[in-house]
Amino acid sequence: MTRMNMLMASAAVAAMTATIASADSSEPIVIPTHNWSSQIVMSHIVGQIFETAGNSVEYVSTDSQAVYESIRLGDVALGVEVWEGAYGASFDAAVAKGGLHSVGEHDAVTREDWWYPMWTKEACPGLPDWEALNDCAAIFATPETGDKGRLLGGPVDWLKHDQERVDALGMDFVVINAGSAAALWASLAAAERTQEPIVIFNWTPNFAEAVWPGEFVEFPAWETGCDTDPAIGPNPDATFDCGNPADGYLKKAAWDGMEGKWPTAYAVLTNVSFTNPQIAEMARLVDIDGMEPEDAAAHWLDQNADVWSGWTD
């Protein structure tokens, strides 16, 4: 095919996509999955909705930070869960390099902060207030932390500034970083068996809230600039003297080429929006009921037709 012909053909395709909705490329839409259940189920839900519209879909498991590089290069087409707290930085960095963009936010809000399971409250009744937590610091002590309390933080590369907060608020705590989310859950499960008080870094929406009911610690409320301006927050000399924002975004991301290649699927993706209870439900189906993610997705679509049928119009 000559260059001219190709140009004409692609112009024709472009014209067709503008008018006919079913002009999506027959190449599979590759959706990345990560290692937590709600994200996998949500990816399958979105994928199965695409399939009802005649698209072909494939899933590939990837690292949840490195994935933005893959979306940027078009190796995968989209991402369904971009957490402000956990992946905001990677996402923004990839956007700055070019190649992907946001396709709107879910209704769900995300929150990430210090958290404790309910049995902890019996040992430290003043909770969820952070000063009350600090007064009970001794019951959270472990051999590694001496007589100070232990906060089991997330992996260091989540960059959570917990230690800065401990210093800024003068708390009797030491931050010990777990190496993975699995390490957090394993520690929580172990503490449950002996009903030991524990305070960890946790987030919502998340399967853990269905398994272990609990509450976030209430720190001085987040104000914009708390992380950069010492004057903001109770301690006039320190930054990070406040809690994390309680309503972080949960975005969807798409490769820049997606709209041109699969316009219908792209339009569906912009409409997709889940709420916190829906996401927790997806996690529950897999983590508690033991369903396979693809079955859980089919089940959810079956039960919630009214929620998603509007997205495909």
Partner 1 sequence: MSSIEAHASPPGVRARRLSMVVVLMAAAIAMALGRDMLPASLMRPPDWMILPLADWINAFFDFLRDDLGLLAVTRSVAGGVEALLDVTANLLYGKNRWPWLGPIPWSVIAVTAAVIGYALGGAKLAFLACGTFLWIALMGQWTWAMETLSVIVVAAPVSVLLGLLVGVAAWRSRRLAALLNPILNIAQSLPHFAYMIPVVVFIGVGPKAGAIVTIIFSVPPMIRMTLLGLQKVPDEVVESGKMCGATGWQLLLRTRLPTARTDILIGVNQVIMQCLAMVVLASFIGMPGLGQKLLQLLQALRIGQSVEIGLTIVLLAITLDRFTRAWALRQPVHVPRVMPWHERFRLPLIWLGLVTVAAGLSQVFPLLAEIGRVQGFSFGAAIDAVMDRVIVAIYPVTDWLHWFLIVWVFIPVRDAFLWMPFAAVLSLLAAVGYAVGGRRSALICVAFFGYIAISGWWDRTMITAYTVVVSVAIAAVFAFPTAIWATGNAVRSRRVLLVCDTVQTFPSFIYLIPMIMLFGANDVAVVGAVVLFAAVPLIRYTIEGIRGVPVALVEAAGMSGATRRQIRRHVLWPVALPTIMVGVNQAVMFSLFMVIIAAFIGTQDLGQEMQRALSSADVGKGLVLGLAVATIGLMVDHLIMKWASSVRPAN
Considering beta carbons, is residue 83 or 207 the nearer one to partner 1? 207
Decide: is 61 part of the binding site for partner 1 (CB under 8 A): yes
State the residue for tokens 């003068």. 170
- Contact in structure between 198 and 151 (CB atoms under 8 Å): no
Q: What DSSP string runs through 62-129?
A: --TTTHHHHHHHTSS-EEEEEEHHHHHHHHHHHHHHSSEEEEEE-S--BEEEEEEEHHHHHH-TTTTB
Tokens encoding 115 = 């958290």
- Minimum CB separation of residue 156 from partner 1 in Å reads 6
The candidate with the shortest Cα–Cα distance to 133, out of 103, 100, 169, is: 169
Rg of the Cα atoms in the chain = 22
Among 42, 45, 46, 67, binds partner 1 (CB under 8 A): 67
- Residues 6 or more apart in contact with residue 128 via CB below 8 angstroms: 116, 215, 216, 217, 218
Return the residue of 80, 151, 184, 217 that touches partner 1, per CB under 8 A: 184
Quote the least distance from Cβ 78 to partner 1, whole Å: 14
Q: Segment 193-212, which members bind partner 1 (CB under 8 A)?
A: 193-194, 207
Query: Is residue 285 a contact residue for partner 1 (CB under 8 A)?
Result: no
User: Which residues are CB-neighbours of 2 under 8 A, at least 6 positions away?
Assistant: none
> Among residues 37 and 264, whose Cβ is nearest to partner 1?
37
Please pick, from the candidates 9, 18, 182, 221, the single residue that binds partner 1 as defined by CB under 8 A: 182
In this structure, are residues 13 and 23 in contact, taking their beta carbons and an 8 Å threshold? yes
- Nearest distance in Å: CB 246, partner 1: 25
**Contact letters for partner 1, residues 78-97 (x by CB under 8 A):** ------------x-------
List Cβ neighbours of 68 (8 Å cut-off, separation of 6 or more).
Answer: 79, 87, 90, 91, 93, 94, 100, 253
CB of 168 or CB of 181, closer to partner 1:
181
User: Are 272 and 78 spatial neighbours (Cβ–Cβ below 8 Å)?
Assistant: no
Site string for partner 1, 219-258 (x = CB under 8 A): ----------------------------------------
Q: Are 128 and 217 in contact (CB under 8 A)?
A: yes
The only residue of 91, 115, 173, 185 in contact with partner 1, by rule CB under 8 A: 185
Query: How far, in Å, CA of 276 to CA of 204, rounded?
Result: 8
Minimum distance, C-beta of residue 235 to partner 1, in the bound complex (Å): 27
Token pair recorded at residue 271: 């409409």
Q: How many residues form the binding site for partner 1 (CB under 8 A)?
A: 52
**Site map for partner 1, 15-44, x if CB under 8 A?**
-------------x-x-x--xxx--x----
x-marked contacts with partner 1 along 124-153 as a string, rule CB under 8 A: ------------------xxx-------x-
Nearest approach, Cβ of residue 30 and partner 1 (Å) = 8
Could you count the other beta carbons within 10 Å of the beta carbon of residue 64?
20
Smallest distance from the beta carbon of 220 to partner 1, in angstroms? 28
**By the criterion CB under 8 A, which residues form the site for partner 1?**
28, 30, 32, 35-37, 40, 56, 58, 60-67, 69-70, 73, 75-76, 90, 142-144, 152, 155-157, 176-187, 189-190, 193-194, 207, 286-287, 290, 292, 295
